[in-house]
Structure 1
Amino acid sequence: MPGPFLLYNKSVEIIKNRRGAILKNFSYPLASDWTTDEIITVTAFYRQVEDAYELSQGVLIDSLLSAYSAFKTVVPSKSQEKQLGKQFEQLTGYSWYRTLKTARETTKKSVKMTIGG
Structure 2
Amino acid sequence: RTAQIANDGSQKLPQRIIASAIECLEAGTELVHLTLVVAAWIAACAARGKSLPRGHFTDPLDAELTALLDQQLPANETVTAVFDLAGFAGDHAERQTLIELVAIHLVHLRRDGTTLAFAALGIDGEGP
TM-score, normalised with respect to structure 1: 0.31
TM-score (norm 2): 0.29
Between the two structures, name the one with larger relative contact order (CA 8 Å, sep ≥ 6): 2
